[in-house]
Structure formats: C-alpha cells, structure tokens
Structure 1
Amino acid sequence: MTATELDPSGVAAEFRAQVREDVTRLAADGRSLRVVGLLGQETGPAATYARFAGRGFQDVGIEFDLRRVAPEDVEAAVADANLDPDVDGVFLYYPLTDPRGDRWLRELVDPRKDVEGMHSFWSRLLYENQRFVDPDRSVRAILPCTPLAILKLLQKAGMRGTDPSAPLAGVTACVINRSELVGRPLAAMLANDGALVHSLDLTGSVTFEPAIGRHTHDVRDSGVTRAEALATADVVISAVPSRSFELIRGDEIREGAICVDVAEFTNFDPSVRERASVFVPRVGPLTIAMAARNLVRLTSVQ
C-alpha cells in the first residue's frame, strides 16, 4: 500500500470559493470586511504564515492589515484593533511576547473579532460541546481554525464513524500534542463527534472519551503508551514542534490509518507512506481558509 497524499490547497480552494460568495453577498449589503494581523518578527515561521494569510484573505475579498509590533506595544495594539469599528477580525502571529504573555494576549482579543477562535469564550463553548451561541441555535459558535482545518481534512480523507447520531462513533484517534492551540481542542472536537482519542505529550497520556450517551466528552488519565496508541488508531495527527521528536514509523501505525502532519518539522518517517491509506503533509492553507470562514460567521455576533 502506498498512501494517497491529500494536498490541503485543493480543499482550501473549495472553502475559499464559499467564503468569497459570502464576502460578495455582504459587500452587496454595504458590509466590507477587514482583518488586522499583529506580528512581532520580521523573519521566521510567524512572518511566513502572516504573509500567506494575507494572500489568503485578499484572495476572498477581505482586506488584510499587517502591523508589526514590539512586545511592549502588543497589548495596546490589540486594544486599538478591538475598539476600531473598521476592524472586523484580529489575528495574532506568535510568538509576540513569551508563552505566558501570549496566552494572556489571546484573552485580550474581543471574542467578536477572534478569527482564530482561541478566546476562552469560544473555548468554553467547545469544551462544553455547545455548538451555538444563542438559545435559538441560529448563531454557530466559532471553532479554533487550525483544529477545524485538521478535522475538515480528515473528513475529506474519508474518516467516518458508524452511527449517524455520532458521526465519528467507532473511530479511534491518536493526537500527539496537547497544546491549547492545536492538540487539546482537536481532541475535544473529535471526541464530541464520537471518537475515542488518545492524547499524548511529554507529560504522558490522557484519553478523551467520546460524547456518546452524555452531552460532552470526558477526559481521564490513561497511561496508554505511544506504541499502544499508534497501533490502534484509525487516524494519527502529530504536531510536535521539535527536530528531536522521534519520528513516527510505518511499523508503528495501523495499516490503512489516515496520518496528518501538522508540525513545523516533519513528525513522520517516510515509511509511514507505505502503510497509511492517506497522508496529509501540511495544514496551513486550510487553516487560513477556516480563519476567513470564521470571520464571516463572526459578522452574526458583531
């Protein structure tokens, strides 16, 4: 078996087309959209990401205003964007300060302008499996754009469950990374749709039990090893930002598994492609499309 490579650019193009239609519709009603991006580095991954994001937003008709800021000026820049009636969305490109400071910055972004979906207002809805903002269920909650992109790619790759009422019932997933940016929200999203998720990081492993028979998922310490998690997983997502990470090998994964590489440095050995059914080498283009999609949805709560 040789894995089919799923290029996120093609999937992103499908979503961009829909967003472009939505932006055109809003423009016809006199509503233009503008995103402010805050960047602290002239070079490096954050600068590259910001550059591609700018192209992605502009491609669908959204104005993108990239502002370079010093660490001591970031809070004021966020406040300015929050208060500016001509700014509809705010995108932060990390690192802007230090890890603790960056977590605080996420809380300073007005949730109504949070295209990344990382504010605790949105996180609480996610972890409580509340999919709408209002009691009438007319305004959808915003989901974090990178985990959402991964979920859309998994769906495109053929990830399916066995129960129509729980779309991922019967699916076992392994997520290596439990950060608040990627791993933890992704595990919650998968489990809320019915999957059993083994979540691994440097501190050990926990299992996200599926939200079947209850409103939301449950999390428990599990002690599941890397070998056990990989051997049983239908889908494997790894997002470890380190060159020293022990690459996932083909002989570790279940034959026919779907594998997604989210890391800055590859997390998968080439041998994985000889055993997986689908391999996704990157996620970035779809993350940007999901951020643009989130922005359109935020117009309903602004």
Structure 2
Amino acid sequence: MITLKGAEVSAKIKEQTAEMLKQCGGRIPKLAIVRVGENPDDLSYERGAVKKMAAFGLSAEVYAYPADIGDEAFKAEFQKINGDPEVDGILLLRPLPKQIHEREIERMIDPEKDLDGISPENIAKVFAGDSSGYAPCTAEAVVETLKAFEIPISGKRAVIVGRSMVVGKPLSMLLLKENATVTICHTRTVNLRETCRNAEILVAAAGRAKMLDKESVGKDAVVIDVGINVDENGKLCGDVDFETLEGTASMATPVPGGIGAVTTAVLAKHLVMAAARKG
C-alpha cells in the first residue's frame, strides 16, 4: 500500500502559489485568522496555518477575542477586519460560542475574502460548479491530493462518509465536477460497510476515531482520511484504522501527515488568489 503524504502535495501547491504571487506586484498577501476563546483544536489549526503562511512567504495576523465576548461586540470587531483593505483573506475558526450568531457572521463575511467557503455566495458557487468561488479548504484538499498523485477521478465510484458543509457536501460537488459517481453516507447509513466496500475512492469524514477498517475497504481502493481524532491512548488518529489497510487498499492518507497539511496549503493558495484578484 502506498502512503499518500500531505507534504508532497503541499510542495506542489507551493510551486503553483509562487507563480500566482508574481501577480501581486511585490505586495505580501495578508491573512486574518479570527479566533474566539481558547479551544485546543482552534489553537492547533491556528498554529499550523500561521506556520504554513510563513513557509509560503505570506503574512498572517491572529485576531483573538475572549470566549465571553458578546454578539454585537464581536460583529463590530469582525466588521473592522472585514473592511480592512490590508486584509486579503479571512479564516474564521469555528464553531463560535453560542452567544454569537454564527449564521449572521457567515452572511457578513466579504465573499472575496472568504477563503474557507462559508459565505452563502461561495457555497452557492461550489454547488453550481462555478470555480470563481472558494470551496472549503479541506474539501478542496481532497481533490488536490488525488490530482497531485495522478489518481483518476473521472468515472470512478466515490463514497464519502460524512455530510457536513465543511467536507461531505461540498466535496461531493467537487468530485461530481470531476465526473466521479458520488455516494454520500453517514453514521446512520444502513449497510455502511457494504456501500464503502463498493468505492474505488473512499473518503472518511465523519469525525469518529477509527470507525472504518479493512472490512469497509474494497480491494485496491484509494482511501482518503479527513478525520482528526484522539484515540484511547491519547494519540492523533483518523476516521480510518490505517494499520489494518495493508493488503486491501492500494493507497491511503495517514493521520497525522495527510490531508491536514494539504488543507493549510489550499488556504495559502486561496489567499494569494484573493490578493491577485484585487490587483
């Protein structure tokens, strides 16, 4: 079984981004990372994003607010960032605390700065097959990984386990655009293993540690694991029991070291695209 390492995909995206950066006239694109509270997952993603921006020669600034900030106060702060001409793109770490109306923030964000595809306009573009919109970075990272390793998508049976707006639903649209035949499953799907075994490309994005093993994987399938969980030993793991796949899957992404690295690379690519469009 071939291990599909995210670092290799990230390196290819970095090359593409370097070419696009030439269109920015020497200006360094700036990312605003907006965080409310001190959620460990948010802090981890934030560190990864800041590190990736620096590696790509880009700028990132963190705008952190206390977990108890009020809805109106946060909206006022967010609008300042949204309207700042020096900010080329925004990454909003979610979920937000309950007192903040997240849907209203999603409607507020400038679609041209919405690098993670949360605005209604960008979501609509993804579902319409309009590539001028920004897809959620993790969903796009799956497609980037398949393409980087020259894995055929057109005509293939793709099964996605997970139906979120972060991965499952937008990824189904991106794969359909590449002419895959797509099935979306979830934790309540009847005969889930049987459906998964029929996949030539299997994407696990349900957020349950090691919920899929070799019994859920068809012979020579390509397995893309989007999940990031902590197992019973306190170690990072995916939604797939990676160690069981040898002899069944032809290729698979590891966790850590897989899609996560590609996701932040896609974020960097989106930032440069946004800056280049501004001219």
TM-score by length of 2: 0.86
Q: Report % sequence identity.
A: 23
Match of 2:215 in 1: 251
Match of 1:277 in 2: 250
1:143–1:196 CA distance, 2 compared to 1 (3 A):
same
Deviation of 1:141 after TM superposition, in Å, equals: 3.1
The residue number in structure 1 matching 2:3 is 5
Change beyond 3 A, Cα 1:46–1:156: same
Residue 211 of structure 2 contacts residue 240 of structure 2 at CA under 8 Å; is this kept in 1?
Answer: yes
Which residue in the other structure is 2:48 paired with?
A: 52
- Do structure 1's residue 291 and structure 2's residue 267 form an aligned pair? yes
What CA distance in whole angstroms lies between the structure 2 residues aligned with 1:225 and 1:98?
35
Equivalence for 2:65: 69
Matched letter for residue 186 of structure 1: L
1:42 counterpart SS class: coil
- What does residue 263 of structure 1 align with? 227
Per-residue deviation at 1:43? 4.8
* 1:142 matched to 2:134: yes
TM-score (normalizing by structure 1)? 0.80
Task: Tell me, in whole angstroms, the C-alpha distance in 2 between the residues paired with 1:226 and 1:99.
Answer: 36
The residue aligned with 1:123 is 123
The aligned counterpart of 2:199 is 233
- Following TM superposition, by how much is the alpha carbon of 1:24 offset from its aligned partner in structure 2, in angstroms? 4.5
For the residues of structure 1 that align with 2:215 and 2:50, how far apart are their CA atoms? 40
- Map residues 177-196 of structure 1 onto 2, 5 A cutoff: 177-196=162-181
Taking only aligned residues, the RMSD between alpha carbons, in angstroms, comes to 2.1
Structure 1 pair 120–43 and aligned structure 2 pair: CA distance change class (3 A): closer
Q: Does structure 1 conserve the Cα–Cα contact (< 8 Å) formed by 2:203 and 2:225? A: yes
**d(CA) in 2 for partners of 1:147 and 1:98?**
25
- Amino acid aligned to 1:198: T
The equivalent of 1:218 in structure 2 is none
Q: Aligned partners of 1:51, 1:63: CA distance in 2, in Å? A: 13
Give the 5 Å matches for 1:199-214.
199-204=184-189
| Alpha-carbon distance in 2 for matches of 1:45, 1:90 | 18
Q: For residues 95 and 123 of structure 1, what CA distance do their matches in structure 2 show?
A: 17
Compute the displacement of 1:300 (Å).
Answer: 5.0
Contact 1:259 1:278 in 2 (8 A): yes
Q: State how many pairs are aligned.
A: 262
Q: How many Å separate the matches in 1 of 2:167 and 2:46?
A: 18
Give matches, 1:70-89, under 5 Å: 70=66, 71-72=69-70, 73-89=73-89
Deviation, structure 1 residue 53: 0.2
Cα deviation for residue 229 of structure 1 reads 1.6
The 3-state SS of whatever aligns with 2:223 is: strand
| 1:274 positional shift | 2.9
Provide structure 1 residue ranges, at least 5 long, that are not aligned to the other structure. Answer: 132-139, 162-167, 205-223
2:175 pairs with 1:175: no
Contact 1:82 1:110 in 2 (8 A): yes
Partner Cα distance (1:226, 1:249) in 2: 12
The alpha carbon displacement at 1:23 in A equals 2.5
In 2 relative to 1, CA 200–257 (structure 1 residues): closer, same or farther, beyond 3 Å?
Answer: same
Which letter maps to 1:200?
A: C
Relative CO higher for 1 or 2, CA cutoff 8 Å, sep ≥ 6? 2
Unmatched 5+ stretches in structure 2: 230-237
CA distance in 2 between partners of 1:25 and 1:301 (Å):
9
Secondary structure at 2:266's aligned position in 1?
Answer: helix
Task: Identify the residue that residue 106 of structure 1 maps to in structure 2.
Answer: 106
Note if contact 2:122-2:135 (Cα within 8 Å) is conserved in structure 1.
yes
